[in-house]
Structure 1
């Protein structure tokens, strides 16, 4: 635990990628194999179940600290993190514990099954044994909040340095539905047959945003254009006579899209497609909107009625594996030629469609396509260099996304709530309303888009203009107007306004605009009619 706590502290206290990579590489060179694989698991979201409720942890933390529970509850929203709050209020402890990280995790999983008295005894004993960062890390483990500022890329870079293996190979090895309970460090990182898991996807290649149009790119002949679809990015894997569907977020979604099982009837074994999961009804010229796909996303099983109403296809735009061979290093134009040949004889009702490329001779031709993107139910355009390999992660230069400008509406802030972490002392989460006669109708929440300076300014204003408090939420004087940007709009019976927005965020604080000039509910409904 001591080595892991030191690693956690080094990563948590630095914003420099080189510092994080160095700390991770040093750890992977000296730690026990079981601790190493659990470290990778924890940093990639594979956390043990929360063993104790947060209610009990707050009560026990206040008890050991010798403070009333109400005082602990007042501290918690200020700090913004339960694990840190407990670590701060507990009496200092200089002792340490030499048990490895993996043993602490096993103990946590055992205590998950125990009664409340045993859980309390375990937690209080751990707090007595551990001090400093070790105690804080234990709190993180037991609260299930092991979030740390390190992404997959620096972790694979550190692993490459520690193991002398290629970074791209390691990124692929870490993909998929593995867990420390069903694999080992050797099997995951060192074994020569890293593709033994037939379901394992490839790391997704991500594009950078193109802000000012494609004219800044060179040599239009060496670029390909296609729609940036508004669906779920996914990989369809056909191996060993079975099929697997993975989302970009590394979630196995095979059971949610049973239509894709028929792909094994049309495409050869050893095929991996990259594409977009879309609702596309037979005979339609365009896919249905993302709103139609949304009911399919959260379902583990799909009823026949929904399958009929919202049939899903994979709109394929890249080929990553062909006849069992990894072809990601092959230039895009050649992968595309293979993909077109593979899809040439697919029937109209096949669960896979070939995503079309958009013809153009010069970059200026693409503006007309982009202007028509919403009509095609797309978010904009993708531009890909014809000779580009399929890389892992977000690499700049070969793939660009040229998205449509977002939809916007001017709204009035009516509620505010403090943030978490480093923004726990600021009000950062706001509820917005549109005008409806003399009333204000709430319709969305947003928490991103302002600078730290603006968040400090609005926080000072909220504190002086609070009308009522509802726990951590404050009702404020309706006054400030914000321009809210969003990617889509849909009807919703769960919201008082009757609408729900997709990816709302604050575009700017309209200090130049009075509340009387904010948009109305009629404006919102008109947007729903046009874009919903």
Structure 2
């Protein structure tokens, strides 16, 4: 554990990515295989299992110390993390009798993860409290922080997967894409798994259950001169299709396995039994890349994302839900055919093979499954002048924009700029009033960064001043929450304003004078019985701080409701 803690400290103090990659490479090279596997598991953010809750650790800390609850809570509000708060406060407590600080016997990371920490979690009541206190007392201060994070399942240290893969590639001599593929679908930490991960390339790298790393598109940035082409080459060099508003997935048929993986590396077979039945009807050695959508058979476009949300997380959707929200797999790429990896072939060839496969599937006796497999259509784009008019048709097609893919592009891993671009529609926008604020977490724990915004319940509210704040609150209805969109300077400025204009406190939440107006951007609206406003907002974020606009001129719920039935627009 001390070696792993030293690595975490070194990564936290490294000035740049090259130094972090080298620190990881050196550590992986020196660590025993089992410890390296567990370190990789943690560094990739896979240690999500909560052995002991932060609330329970807080209780143990308070019971064993003279700290008042208000002091712990105020410290937590500044730090934003229970594990770190306890690590900072506990090291200032006197030593327990028979437990000198730093006196815990040394053990490997594997022993901690497989034996010591699970044993603590298995205890109950006073026995658990005493064991945790003794553990804390025997740890060095830096070890205390790491162990607490592992206990609470909140192990985040700001080292991304790409950086870890670079270190593994440097250590092993393997390609990062190969390592990424081997890690897809989960990594169970063990010495055997570590050895298999770093084994030489065998040339046959798809196991029966493993998806390929997803290729991700980058946002298209149009040139300032509208006469310039948005992308190199003529429009004919690019395949245009709709950017669907669903869940990205890979549908796999290999051997006796039919699998549906989400982009988040989750196996979602139980939620979509009709798509698993579809996979059963595909030829052996087939991997499709596409979008999961809810689509009624007679409809011309998919339903809104809210319908798809009803299917998510269901282990056994009932007949009524399957009938009300039928799922389809909208395929737009073929990654494997008859067991052959097609990813290095140009997109034009993969697309032709996909069209042939779907045609053969429909011609075979698969009537029940055929309705759940759709081919994402190519869109007519011969000249760049057609790009914007085409994008403006996206909402009418039930999409959120366009995808542009180079016809000669291979299927890469991760987000690689240059080959795949997404050109989304301009979002809807409304001006809303800041009503509530809450402190963030982690490094933003001492700043108010989570905001609740409201719209007027009257389309033309009367002009009011600060003295009428109570009246304003009664006439404003909560509409959306957002925590992104402001830069660091704006966050700091708004934080100072919130602290000096607080009306009431509700635990960690502050009600503020309803004077500040912000333009909110969002992808769509849906009627909702769960929200006070009667409207659910999709992906709300702050697009700008309207310091030029008084609160009385913010938008109303009537304006928002009008967007529910507004015609499609770009």
Give the TM-score band, short-chain normalised.
over 0.9
Q: Can you list the C-alpha shifts for 1:298-338, whole angstroms capped at 9, x where unaligned?
A: 21221111111111111111111111111111111111111
Task: Give runs of ≥4 in structure 1 deviating > 6 Å.
Answer: none
Whether 1:142 and 2:144 are equivalent positions in the alignment is no
Distance 1:367 1:249, change over 3 A: same
How many angstroms does 1:57 deviate by? 1.1
Give the paired residue count: 532
- In structure 2, what is the equivalent of residue 324 of structure 1? 339
CA contact (8 A) 1:168 1:392 kept: yes
CA contact (8 A) 1:205 1:394 kept: yes
Q: Can you list the C-alpha shifts for 1:213-258, whole angstroms capped at 9, x where unaligned?
A: 7923111232111111100000001101321001111111111111
1:495-510 pair list within 5 angstroms? 495-510=531-546
CA contact (8 A) 2:348 2:407 kept: yes
Q: Can you list the C-alpha shifts for 1:361-402, whole angstroms capped at 9, x where unaligned?
A: 112212121000011111111111111111111111111111
CA contact (8 A) 1:222 1:385 kept: yes
Whether 1:488 and 2:524 are equivalent positions in the alignment is yes
- In structure 2, what is the equivalent of residue 457 of structure 1? 493
Q: Can you list the C-alpha shifts for 1:59-102, whole angstroms capped at 9, x where unaligned?
A: 32234453222211121111111111111112255667531111
CA contact (8 A) 1:49 1:109 kept: no
Distance in 1, matches of 2:455 and 2:71, equals 37
- In structure 1, what is the equivalent of residue 466 of structure 2? none
- In structure 1, what is the equivalent of residue 464 of structure 2? none
Distance in 2, matches of 1:392 and 1:480, equals 43
Whether 1:298 and 2:319 are equivalent positions in the alignment is no
Distance in 2, matches of 1:470 and 1:49, equals 31
Q: Which secondary structure state, in structure 1, belongs to the residue aligned with residue 515 of structure 2?
A: coil
- In structure 2, what is the equivalent of residue 268 of structure 1? 283
Structure 1 vs Structure 2 CA RMSD: 2.0
Instruction: Name whichever of 9-18 and 21-30 sits farther off.
Output: 9-18
How many angstroms does 1:425 deviate by? 1.4
- In structure 2, what is the equivalent of residue 286 of structure 1? 301
Match for residue 218 of structure 1 among 232, 238, 250: 232
How many angstroms does 1:134 deviate by? 1.4
Q: Which secondary structure state, in structure 2, belongs to the residue aligned with residue 12 of structure 1?
A: helix
- In structure 1, what is the equivalent of residue 257 of structure 2? 242
TM-score by length of 1: 0.95
- In structure 2, what is the equivalent of residue 155 of structure 1? 164
- In structure 1, what is the equivalent of residue 183 of structure 2? 174
Distance in 1, matches of 2:129 and 2:190, equals 26
Structure 2 portions without partners, runs of 5+: 93-100, 462-474
- In structure 2, what is the equivalent of residue 29 of structure 1? 29
- In structure 1, what is the equivalent of residue 46 of structure 2? 46
CA contact (8 A) 1:431 1:444 kept: yes
TM-score by length of 2: 0.89
Q: Can you list the C-alpha shifts for 1:256-298, whole angstroms capped at 9, x where unaligned?
A: 1111123245421101111000111212221111121110112
Distance in 2, matches of 1:367 and 1:321, equals 34
Distance in 2, matches of 1:181 and 1:26, equals 19
- In structure 1, what is the equivalent of residue 432 of structure 2? 411
Structure 1 portions without partners, runs of 5+: none
